[in-house]
């Protein structure tokens, strides 16, 4: 009698653990699934296709460089984007560690023209902190920019350049 009750409780506990794991997995998978679904349906709000063509538009070009001797690559997956004043820009980049050793890197941004720095505010950037890449790791990272509400008429384009440097040891 006691043994049958213990077996029943053990089976119930295993079932509950499996259900909890499935629920956690479902919740964990929802974020990339939602992103892929929005992209497939074309409802990505940072997409420049939603820019109002009658409003002033700024064209932002993304340039990448890597410090000499650093066994890494930085590739702009969205090299040119457009946004209207007050809009958001979301640009993707791919970091690649080409070495067999872990690599600590830091991306340093610069703007051209320099006054564009005051008009393109970084809300999210892989350049905020140093990154550690595992050996031969490839990682996609993102920059989200808020475009100022009022742009000078003569500023139709800006370049945001990132240079990848080795992280300095402290």
Read off the pLDDT of residues 6-44 as tens digits, 9 standing for 90 and up: 999 999 999 999 999 999 999 988 888 888 887 787 766
pLDDT of residue 46: 52
What's the rounded Cα separation, in Å, for the pair 32 and 129? Answer: 23
CA angle 102, 106, 107 (to 5 degrees): 130
How far, in Å, CA of 37 to CA of 47, rounded? 14
Residue 157's pLDDT is 87
Higher pLDDT, 49 or 93: 93
- Average pLDDT (95-114) is 92
The stretch 2-7 carries a mean pLDDT of 87
Contact yes or no for 76/128 (Cβ under 8 A): no
């Amino acid at each position: 009698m006691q043994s049958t009750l213990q077996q029943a409780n053990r089976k119930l506990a295993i079932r509950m653990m499996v259900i909890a794991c499935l629920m956690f997995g479902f919740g964990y998978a929802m974020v990339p699934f939602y992103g892929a679904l929005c992209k497939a349906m074309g409802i990505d709000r940072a997409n420049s296709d939603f820019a109002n063509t009658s409003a002033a538009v700024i064209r932002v070009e993304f340039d990448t460089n890597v410090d000499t001797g650093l066994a890494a690559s930085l590739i702009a997956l969205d090299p040119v984007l457009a946004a209207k004043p007050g809009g958001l820009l979301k640009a993707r980049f791919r970091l690649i560690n080409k070495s067999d050793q872990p690599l600590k890197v830091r991306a340093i941004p610069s703007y051209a023209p320099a006054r564009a720095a005051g008009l393109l505010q970084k809300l999210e950037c892989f350049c905020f902190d140093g990154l550690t890449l595992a050996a031969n790791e490839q990682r996609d990272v993102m920059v989200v920019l808020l475009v100022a509400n009022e742009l000078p008429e003569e500023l139709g384009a800006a370049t945001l350049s990132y240079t990848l440097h080795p992280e300095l040891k402290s």
